Structure formats: structure tokens, C-alpha cells
Amino acid sequence: MSLRSGLSKWLMLGLWATSLTVSADKILVAGATGGTGQRIVHHLLQQGESVRIFARDADKAQRLFGSTAGLEVHIGDIRDSQAVAQAVQGVTHIISAVGARSQDEDDPNSARYVDYEGTQHLVKAAQQYGIQQIILVSTAGLSDSVYAESVKNRPILLWKKQAEQAVQSSGIPYTLVRPGRLLDEEGGQFGMLVTQGDYQRGEGIARDDVARVCVAALKQPTAYRKTFEISRDRNEEPISDWADFFADLRSD
């Protein structure tokens, strides 16, 4: 069977599987073909997790991940509630790194439809199927202390904030990760400045480090019901004890 015909067969089902289960749990990564999402997938697979990615672009997913052990690919649109429910069924945890491509609120690729409504679909499906944890990659600038001023300059934050609120009110254990400016550079080089209130110094953070935080928060009780901002700190060493890292944060 050719790659094209084989891929078409699986796309008709919405899912192709590439290996037997690696872990008893299965992690859904939404936005997995994006810059941060693909790094999350990489780190999950490195630590032996069974992963299902949820992506719109089958060709891009195939280019990025191919036939990777421990990985399933589910093709669908985060804006489609039925497609989201199908992707969530059968997984135990969700990590969402979805992000809008457009600043135009009327564009179907805007934050209103992708970040907010897409997250609502994930939450509803998570409640339906008894998901154990939701980890959401959000953005800095959403704390109460700075939000009113931030949203004037970046209307996209309105929808990011509402996406966070949908997760926080879901009744499901969650972790909200708010990175500063995302950088396409090597991770694991610096420590992190961590705040709860957007008292950041303006440093960015490597996407790879954001991915490391998300994966470290997975199934980590000290990370539940925590919302925090992160950026790199050149004066600190990379984090070695993640349980203590999360334990030091206050709960929402």
C-alpha cells in the first residue's frame, strides 16, 4: 500500500495508530504541530508516555512525526466540538498548546474561535470522558493586576483569559502555564523566573522550556490548580526538582 493510500484510509477514520500503547495513560496534545506543541510531544515520548496528537493538517503531522513509536495522530479541527470529543475519547490527560493564527476577530482562525471556543470544546469533552488533568499553555499578561491594561493593547488576551476561566471552572485538576515571549532556541540552558501576578522582567522563554514545564506538570499533584507566569532567568540554573517547583506556588 502506498503512503498516500494508507494515509487516506486512516484519515477516513480520523485516526492512525503507529504503535502499541507505551503507558497505561494516554495524553492528548492539542496544537501538536505548532512550535510549542511539537516540543511537548517530543518530551512526552522521551519519557515513555503514550501520546495522541490532535491536528488539522495531516501532511504536516506526517512530516513532523511520521511513524513514531507511542504516537497516534487524530486529524480534526479544534473548532469542531464533535471532532474534539472524538479526539478526547480514550485519553486520560490533555495538554493544549493551541494558538490563533489571526488577530482579526471575525476570522475563523482568530483567538475567539481557536483559543476560547476550542478550549471550551476540550473542557466539555474532558468532563464527558472523565479526563484526569488539563494543562493549558496560555500567555503572560492575564493576571488581574495587569489584565485591564494589557487587553487594551492586545485584544487577543480577552479570549485567552476566557479560555483560562473555562478550564478553571471545569472541576477538573488543571495547570495554567503563562509563558512570556516565546523563543525558538535551545531549552534547558537557564533557570526560570516564576511569578503569580505578572511581575515579569520582560525576558522571553524558549518554547522547549515551556514544553518541559508542561510535561513536568503532568500527573504531578503539586501542580494542580496552579496558574503562573514563566520566563527565563539567566542567573539561575535549570530546574531539577519539579515537585518542589510546583509546591512552592500558591493554588488558585
Asked if residue 252 belongs to a domain, the reply is no
Asked if residue 221 belongs to a domain, the reply is yes
Asked if residue 159 belongs to a domain, the reply is yes
Which range of residues forms the domain containing residue 84?
3-247
Find the CATH number of the domain harbouring 210: 3.40.50.720
Asked if residue 48 belongs to a domain, the reply is yes
Q: Which residues pair with 30 in a beta bridge?
A: 54, 96
Q: Where are the beta strands (DSSP E) in the chain?
A: 15-17, 26-30, 50-55, 71-75, 93-96, 133-137, 174-179, 182-183, 191-195, 205-206, 226-233
Cross-sheet strand order for the sheet of 26-30: 15-17, 71-75, 50-55, 26-30, 93-96, 133-137, 174-179, 226-233, 191-195
Identity (one letter) of the amino acid at 179?
P
Q: Which residues pair with 191 in a beta bridge?
A: 233
Asked if residue 136 belongs to a domain, the reply is yes
Asked if residue 199 belongs to a domain, the reply is yes
Asked if residue 84 belongs to a domain, the reply is yes
Whether the pTM exceeds 0.85: the reply is: yes
Rounded to an integer, what distance in angstroms lies between the CA atom of residue 182 and that of residue 203?
9
Asked if residue 73 belongs to a domain, the reply is yes
Residue ranges of the chain with per-residue pLDDT less than 70: 1-23, 145, 147-148, 153, 198-202
Number of domains in the chain: 1
Q: At 223, is the secondary structure helix, strand, or coil?
A: helix
